[in-house]
Structure 1
Amino acid sequence: MRICFLDPVDWDYAIESVYQRPLGGTQSAMCYLAEELVKLGHEIFLINKTKYITTSLGVTCLPTSLISADLFDNLSLDVCIVLNDAGNAKILKRYLPSSTLLILWTGHNTNQPGVELLKNEAELYDYFVFLSQWQKNKFVEVFGLSESKLKVFAHCVSPTFLKIFSPDESIISTKLSPITLAYTSTPFRGLDILLEIFPEVYAKFPNCQLKVFSDLKVYQVDDSQDQAQYGSLYSRCCEIPGIEYIGSLPQPELAKHLKSVTALTYPNTFEETGCIAVMEAMASGCQVITTDMGALPETTANFAELIPVTEEWEVYKIQFAEAVINALRKTLDSELQENLNQKLSQQVQYIQKHHNWQIRAKEWETWLTSIIQQNQLKSWPPEAKLYYQRKQYDKALQIYENAIEEDPDNLENYWQAGILLVLLNREEEAQLIWSIALAKLSQEEVHTHISYLTSQLLIEAEHQYEDGNVDLAFAIRGYIKEFAPEQIANLIWIINVALENNFEIEYIKENLLVLQAQLNSNLNIEEFTQYSNRLENLLKLLTDKLFADEATICFLKSLVLFKDYLPDFSNILDNITRRLMYKDYLPHLAVDYGEIYLDTANRNYESLLLMSDIYRFSIKLEQAEECINEALSKCDTLSSRVLTLAKLRYIILCFGSRWEDVYRIDNEHLALLSELIKNNPQNIPQHEAFRLLVGSLVSWYLYDEPSAYLPLLSELANLCCSNIQNNAITRGFKLPAYNSNLNWRDTHSKKLKIGYVSSCFRTHSVGWLARWLISSHNHSEFEIFLYFVGANTHGNDPLQEWYKSLNVNIYTEGSWYYEIAEKIIQDEINILIDLDSGTFDGTCGVMALKPAPIQATWLGFDTFGLPTIDYFIADPYVLPNIAQEYYPNSIWRLPQTYLGIGGFEVNEVSLKRQVLGIESDAIIYMSAQTGLKRHPSTVRLQMEIIKKVPNSYFLIKGLSDEKTVKQLFESIATEIGISLEQLRFISGDPTSMVHRANLGIADVILDTFPYNGATTTLEALWMGIPLVTRVGQQFAARNSYTFLKNAGVEEGIAWSAEEYVEWGVRFGTDHELRRKVAEKLRRARYSAPLWDAKGFTKEVEAAYQAMWHHYVTGEMILPPGHRIG
């Protein structure tokens, strides 16, 4: 539709002005409505006292001085909507084409001067729009308007007011400190009364304050005139104790103030026809105390305290003051606050549902479409109109065909006949009849008639779409595209609806290319801004439904030129990049989108931080380092610098060879971290509190000194935990309080509810290893719950789908850590197990909120001292006996192993000796690890083994920067004096099952230190390959030790560097030793604790029962073989 708003008032403003300065209620409403109608794909114009022709938020703004018949002919309007004042109908009717509907949209009361002329000019308006039923009834009573021409659309609040509170945020908690009242209307509507009342309120509540947001700026009155009229009233505000005079503000600023306002006190003396001020206060969670005058009962919808107005003003003032005092007493009564918070939440939700411009714009759209269609039918022959309304299109067509025969020069008959033929699916005939009509025109006339035809086609397309006839709407839109390919709004509509209705991808891509070409062909910035909102909606759909296609990425790149005119472009790219990286685990696509995001975000700190992660994960380490160094230069707080240095350290570590740089950065990081912990800030931003925890887990790769670094990490965990909790509380989360005074008999007779929370219920080492325990539980005694943190949204991860298929309770919906915690609390989980062990920020957030009375961490990694963790589940070997001395959490040691699994799936071998050029009798050593674990001291030991074993080769495999890791190994090999021919750097395998099969090429696996293998060790042992490991003090340096012990193998366990080399040489030179160990490992599959998933599950369940018994009774009865410490 082509819609014009005409504002006769003498104000110069544009659509975006509503976000920049105060505007009158009707003007503000029109701005928001116009902006939303643009987003819905309509051509919108504003004619007012602007001085220049401009484009504002997609709306073309024109000065009233241009008003003429020629202007309106060129605009080809479907509707012209006049704001407020009714006295312009005669001149407009003279200029407007007969096909354009004239509508008066007024917020005036019947006694205001702007509508007096309706007594003589009401018939000139086709329709009237009012703000309330009360106002409509008054106009019917006074002016005798016909009900059929009337429509009520209540005003809505600024979009800013719909985003004040997050879904779970406590409203009442924002209103108590201090108690604050507000007046937000114009000064002549009751401010003088409020100033008389407030001292009485202040006497009762000395800490109360009144903020006055009032002046005449909304009417564009200059300060001198405002002061002349109401300066004395403003001065009184400044003189009365407890009152702060602020004046009117733009709505985004007002929204920030109203979030903390307890009540709107509006002793109104004016019959409101709608009252946006009250709606804004309601949306802001304010209690509303006002009068019952005018439409206020209708607007407040039973949420407000309405004081009846009487002729005795002194009585009214007393009643109003009493109502305010009573409201504040109830607010401060802690026993009533929960109910009050619930009422305010319902009030906010009511406004969000009933006074939302997105919703209201669609209601306007539906109504305008219907009246335009009715108007269009007026020009039809009555009989054809009747047939059309009955959808008897063939009979309507016959009438037009007869009309063409009688008057072949009346081209309108051809256009309507062609539309009817399209509706009858006779499209070739439609094209023929239109071509006949176009052939009658001169070149100069074609444009005007095509414009008319496309406007009629657009009305019909919208009508068919509203009726649910998507295919017909598309067919008609296709003709608009054919006749007017430059209509960008039409192209956007086609692609949007095609995406929503899952049309063929090739069709969508074809139209996307056409749109891209139109946008890039001599389109200037002013023209572009008309489409910015619609384009952003399209971008959201494309990144949701067609994100993996190169066409979408190319289209996004083409829009970077216009990034300053797409306000939400950067946020859209941020969201899709994070989703691809952290939920869908598609780093190659995350790189493509992230690089566009870097451009649109002007390489700000957050975008650089994100891209450093994505580049690192994609093994684009040089780009990752460049981004993180640039981010480091933009840090403005100590916490952000600590975080960014930690990320830089991790990236440099990933190179696998730059160990001097790693240790240098580590020293700098530790110094700043100590300073941060000493400062103990309690206002660390939420995202930083998470990342500080996860980003600091690097010491395990550098040192084997847990007694030195664990206390520091524990202090950091305490600091981050308190900040995470503070952030959650501000969002309405209530930290649970647990009652351990339970009856053991009552709880023992019920199933224990065990929750597992993780980001790794997917194709990930933790996901593969945890499945045995989770699928082996005894469901007669335990009810199992899985909480997915960052679940893949597209169902393309087979292991994630396997977990979802289990007969357990699954929760995948929570996007925020506190949402997941809320769900855990609702499920009344008894024991919550963290599988990520500090390696994923969202899971850390969940555990920090203590949503279960007992919390433990298991499997994912070491523990670092989060104070809300009760137990770290281990075994007799994976931690030394003295570990409890420096571990902040209680260590629960299972009798044999902290992990028992049922084995691994194995595929066919694809790696052969012949391909690698290795003789059949040569000894092959292998190390398959990430570059993070390639500590040079261990690499040196491995090279010494190769040197001492004749005819030996070393296969090096794993995620890392291949060039730098190769340099590390070759430089040490050269230094030690072994041939580089003995080293083979091999690439990864397509799947983990192929990787396991290819392990069989090795005679011996050489483990890493101080960070051992875990899954890689298990895979080697399952494949029956001897392994050499060095045992240290920390969890990460003892994984292979416990796995060997629990596989029944002592051979290969080294307690020093010398023993590591000795075992490596022995395995390489003693064939019988290798055979003996391989046989042990083969037999272990059938009896060893490591491979006994069911036995392991029973021990874990026994631990859970003992933990719960201790929690309920205070008595610790350990199962046989279990111990704590």
Structure 2
Amino acid sequence: MQDAQHWQQQAQHCYQQGDYRQAAQYYEQAIEAAPQEKAYYWQYGLMLLCAGEVAEAQTAWLMAMLEGNPQQVEQWNLELIRHLEEAAQYHTQQAQYSLAQTLRQQIQEINPTDINNLLHLLQLAIHHKTYTGSEIAEWEMPELLTATPSPSINFDLLLATLSQVLQYAPLSPSSLDFAQASLPHIPPQQTFSTLTVLVNAATEIGHFRRRSDIAAKLIEIALQLAPNNADLVNLLAQFYQNSEQYEKGIEKARQYTTLVESLPDRVFASLGLLRALMNTGGHWQEAFSHFQEHQTLLQSLIEHPPETLTTVQVSILYQAYFFAPYFQDTPQTNRYYHNQIAQLCQANAAQLHQELYDKFQQNHKDRHLSRKNKKKLKIGYISYCFKSHSVGWLARWLIQHHNREEFELYGYLITATEVEDDLTKWYIQQFDYLYQSKHFLQLAEAIHNDEIDILIELDSLTVDTTCRVISYQPAPLQITWLGWDASGVPTIDYYLADQYVLPENAEQYYQEKIIRLPQSYVAVDGFEVGVPTLRREDLNIEPDAVLFFSAQKGYKRHIDTIRLQLQIIKAVPTSYFIIKGVADAEQVKATFHQLAEEVGLDQNRLRFLDTDPTEMIHRANLSLMDVVLDTYPYNGATTTLETLWVGVPLVTQVGEQFSARNSYTMLMNAGVEEGIAWTDEEYIKWGIKLGTNAALRQQVTQKLRESRKTAPLWNGRQFTREVEQAYWQIWNKYLVDS
């Protein structure tokens, strides 16, 4: 026996040194010295397994068990599994993951229902990036989780595995099955940590991977743990809306309003319900009524601001008055609320991270002298939209045409993934330096550490992360351009506009200083146009009919403008109205049919289309249309540019606010004044005139085609030079004033 123990000690020494074959030889000698000691057989096979001799290891174990009865064999299998488990844990600690995986695969062969071992195997497969998403179903893990008593499951291991599965393969149906099957094993004291895993995964899946349908299912699972959790209900409302489950979204948005108490949370809940109603494109009357209530809540918040706001409240309140321009063309009122709310958020944002804010301000002062006499500026661009998005399509020309001898370009992408799509890849190649993150503090630190001279944000109020970054003023000069309208955030210095898109008195109600570029506030060199997929016969429309067209999201379709559009269709014989956009299709149809009945228009003259698979196909199908009818008080922007680029006449109504003047400035900078209306009556008249006068339509189309050669709207290079000149002007002013 002493000889056997000697050989065992020698074997273990070799094992720890990684000499598995020599260790196996020592165990052979230990077996010869003590053949009755089964543990030596298990260790002998284990050494062979570690040496890569799988068949030999299995044969060694099998031979040791041949003489046993069923009860002994069962006991020996348990002993063998214990040895394999200890070895797997040891090799995992040693970061020898491939060997640990081999050992656990052997455990799986012996006991395929060992749920804890399967959890380890999932983690190892994810670590090796060999996980396909099918293993959960193949190993029947949901069924095993259901059948296994909770005390037998290592909960920490279960939760860690669930987190990794949702990060690595969040779109796999088996991931949802795994999450659902895990619920019964969650002890009450671990509810919060489990919710954190589910919510983090859902947020990334919904917001960054753009699969809100799967994100909604994850939150449905989370709600089983906390049915009345207000934050979960609110998230679910958002994901329902984003995945076009509109009525469910409204239901959850209503529920959320009943679960919150503080005034800031009531404001946000009210905004959520407003968003849910607006997104359908068909709940206009209720949305308008609720907007009045929402505005009253906001006024209360402004008059009675809380002493402190949480980080989450600060983030969400930036967008508290987001939908106002869709309801009313009252820029003085709208800007008042935007500015007041932004100031409230700013005060609390700085307070929440006072040291960071103070550090940035002090460093701007310290770096001031080193910034003088610079011949090359560091320009930072931050956005969530450097991808196939309206902002992404429009901003690319400025980035492409920048003078790299005078400007270093830094891109700050708000994203959780490395690459979004082909347009993201293009942007990544264009920037001299790139930083990607979804965390506002990380982004702010990166901008500050890069010593950016001028930071341009492209998202405005559409992305709360951008607002949070901007609020800490990581760059000494900060500008808003393109994304929506000015945010009102006090740390924004300038707002890029032009002579048309803002009226002359706009300076009175914007907190930002307005830079009016010489011609247009945006310009593109053009758009890629695909192959049309739509024909008149597909719509059951005769060849000589006049096709009016509108393609917008549901919340741009103000009910008063729809009435004007339908009056135009009624007044133009043999005309049809083609309606397309993201919204609740049935609600949109119901709204248009009801209003058509009110104005006496035959519903058969309305056609409703699904959105096109790509932007290029949408642009190609635009050429089928005769006249595009713009929305008001929120005009098209990218949709207007696309319309003008393919040469289709446009009718737009001009207002006072930025969003009611987008199409106006684009038409003027394309050299076309036909279709510009200043009143409801003019809007109708232009629609009828263009609809009934084919020669006039052809004249406008010809103008638009000729404009490609000379118009400022289609000259991205000239636009870039004008923007760069503005950058130098504000930079030199900053040096003088500082």
TM tier relative to shorter chain:
over 0.9
Q: Which residue of structure 1 aligns with residue 170 of structure 2? A: 547
Q: Which residue of structure 2 aligns with residue 809 of structure 1? A: 433
Q: What does 1:100-119 align with in structure 2 at a 5 Å threshold?
A: none
CA contact (8 A) 2:4 2:34 kept: no
Shift of 1:864: 4.3
- Partner Cα separation in structure 1 for residue 145 and residue 426 of structure 2: 45
Q: Which residue of structure 1 aligns with residue 54 of structure 2? A: 427
Q: Which residue of structure 1 aligns with residue 721 of structure 2? A: 1098
Q: Which residue of structure 2 aligns with residue 458 of structure 1? A: 85
> Higher helix proportion, which one?
2
Q: Which residue of structure 2 aligns with residue 643 of structure 1? A: 268
Q: What does 1:676-695 align with in structure 2 at a 5 Å threshold?
A: 676-695=301-320
Shift of 1:606: 1.1
Shift of 1:588: 2.9
- Partner Cα separation in structure 2 for residue 1078 and residue 880 of structure 1: 28
Label 1:1012 to 1:445 Cα distance change in 2 as closer, same or farther (>3 A): same
Shift of 1:948: 1.0
Find 1:579's aligned residue among 187, 196, 204.
Answer: 204
- Are residue 519 (structure 1) and residue 145 (structure 2) matched? yes
- Are residue 501 (structure 1) and residue 128 (structure 2) matched? yes
- Partner Cα separation in structure 2 for residue 376 and residue 798 of structure 1: 68
Find 1:901's aligned residue among 524, 539, 554.
Answer: 524
- Partner Cα separation in structure 1 for residue 595 and residue 277 of structure 2: 19
Q: Which residue of structure 2 aligns with residue 959 of structure 1? A: 582
Shift of 1:497: 1.2
Q: Which residue of structure 1 aligns with residue 180 of structure 2? A: 557
- Are residue 449 (structure 1) and residue 76 (structure 2) matched? yes
- Are residue 440 (structure 1) and residue 67 (structure 2) matched? yes
- Partner Cα separation in structure 2 for residue 381 and residue 872 of structure 1: 77
Once the two structures are superposed, what CA deviation does each residue of 1:1088-1114 show, in whole Å capped at 9, x if it has no partner?
000100100111111111111222224
Shift of 1:1051: 0.5
Label 1:1017 to 1:732 Cα distance change in 2 as closer, same or farther (>3 A): closer
Q: What does 1:555-704 align with in structure 2 at a 5 Å threshold?
A: 555-565=178-188, 566-567=190-191, 568-704=193-329
Shift of 1:851: 2.2
Q: What does 1:318-333 align with in structure 2 at a 5 Å threshold?
A: none
CA contact (8 A) 2:525 2:714 kept: yes
CA contact (8 A) 1:924 1:954 kept: yes
- Partner Cα separation in structure 2 for residue 742 and residue 564 of structure 1: 53
Find 1:490's aligned residue among 91, 102, 117.
Answer: 117
Q: Which residue of structure 1 aligns with residue 623 of structure 2? A: 1000
- Partner Cα separation in structure 1 for residue 368 and residue 24 of structure 2: 82
Once the two structures are superposed, what CA deviation does each residue of 1:629-648 show, in whole Å capped at 9, x if it has no partner?
11111112011101111121
Identity, % of aligned positions: 38
- Partner Cα separation in structure 1 for residue 58 and residue 573 of structure 2: 85
When the two chains are superposed, the root-mean-square deviation of aligned CA atoms in Å is 2.7
- Partner Cα separation in structure 2 for residue 406 and residue 864 of structure 1: 83
CA contact (8 A) 1:741 1:1112 kept: no
- Partner Cα separation in structure 2 for residue 589 and residue 377 of structure 1: 58
Aligned partner of residue 990 in structure 1, secondary structure: coil
Q: Which residue of structure 2 aligns with residue 979 of structure 1? A: 602
Q: What does 1:817-896 align with in structure 2 at a 5 Å threshold?
A: 817-896=440-519
- Are residue 728 (structure 1) and residue 353 (structure 2) matched? yes
Q: Which residue of structure 2 aligns with residue 968 of structure 1? A: 591
- Partner Cα separation in structure 2 for residue 1074 and residue 864 of structure 1: 38
2:433 is aligned with what amino acid? Answer: N
Label 1:433 to 1:846 Cα distance change in 2 as closer, same or farther (>3 A): closer
Shift of 1:730: 6.7
- Partner Cα separation in structure 2 for residue 731 and residue 1109 of structure 1: 27
CA contact (8 A) 2:649 2:701 kept: yes
- Partner Cα separation in structure 1 for residue 20 and residue 328 of structure 2: 82
CA contact (8 A) 1:713 1:864 kept: yes
Which deviates more from structure 2 when the two are superposed, residues 921-930 or residues 818-827? 818-827
- Are residue 757 (structure 1) and residue 385 (structure 2) matched? no
Label 1:474 to 1:693 Cα distance change in 2 as closer, same or farther (>3 A): closer
1:922 is aligned with what amino acid? Answer: A
TM-score (norm 2): 0.94
Aligned partner of residue 105 in structure 2, secondary structure: helix
Label 1:1049 to 1:649 Cα distance change in 2 as closer, same or farther (>3 A): same
Q: Which residue of structure 1 aligns with residue 656 of structure 2? A: 1033
TM-score (norm 1): 0.62
- Are residue 1011 (structure 1) and residue 638 (structure 2) matched? no
Aligned partner of residue 786 in structure 1, secondary structure: strand
Aligned partner of residue 925 in structure 1, secondary structure: strand
1:1054 is aligned with what amino acid? Answer: A
Q: Which runs of 5+ in 1 are unaligned?
A: 1-97, 99-374, 1116-1125
Aligned partner of residue 561 in structure 2, secondary structure: helix
- Partner Cα separation in structure 1 for residue 117 and residue 4 of structure 2: 23
1:798 is aligned with what amino acid? Answer: D
- Partner Cα separation in structure 2 for residue 1058 and residue 1071 of structure 1: 21
Aligned partner of residue 595 in structure 2, secondary structure: helix
Aligned partner of residue 694 in structure 1, secondary structure: coil
- Partner Cα separation in structure 1 for residue 370 and residue 352 of structure 2: 38
Corresponding pairs, count: 736
CA contact (8 A) 2:418 2:436 kept: no
Q: Which runs of 5+ in 2 are unaligned?
A: none
Shift of 1:500: 0.6
Label 1:754 to 1:383 Cα distance change in 2 as closer, same or farther (>3 A): closer
Aligned partner of residue 282 in structure 2, secondary structure: coil
- Are residue 940 (structure 1) and residue 563 (structure 2) matched? yes
Label 1:763 to 1:746 Cα distance change in 2 as closer, same or farther (>3 A): closer
- Partner Cα separation in structure 2 for residue 804 and residue 674 of structure 1: 43
CA contact (8 A) 2:4 2:33 kept: no
1:1051 is aligned with what amino acid? Answer: E
Aligned partner of residue 553 in structure 1, secondary structure: helix
Label 1:1004 to 1:427 Cα distance change in 2 as closer, same or farther (>3 A): same
Once the two structures are superposed, what CA deviation does each residue of 1:362-407 show, in whole Å capped at 9, x if it has no partner?
xxxxxxxxxxxxx999474577667767766556656766777898
Q: Which residue of structure 1 aligns with residue 733 of structure 2? A: 1110
Q: Which residue of structure 2 aligns with residue 1073 of structure 1? A: 696
Label 1:851 to 1:420 Cα distance change in 2 as closer, same or farther (>3 A): closer
2:627 is aligned with what amino acid? Answer: V
Q: What does 1:92-171 align with in structure 2 at a 5 Å threshold?
A: none
Shift of 1:466: 5.3
Label 1:377 to 1:677 Cα distance change in 2 as closer, same or farther (>3 A): farther
Shift of 1:538: 0.7
Label 1:783 to 1:1050 Cα distance change in 2 as closer, same or farther (>3 A): same
2:287 is aligned with what amino acid? Answer: V
Q: What does 1:22-101 align with in structure 2 at a 5 Å threshold?
A: none
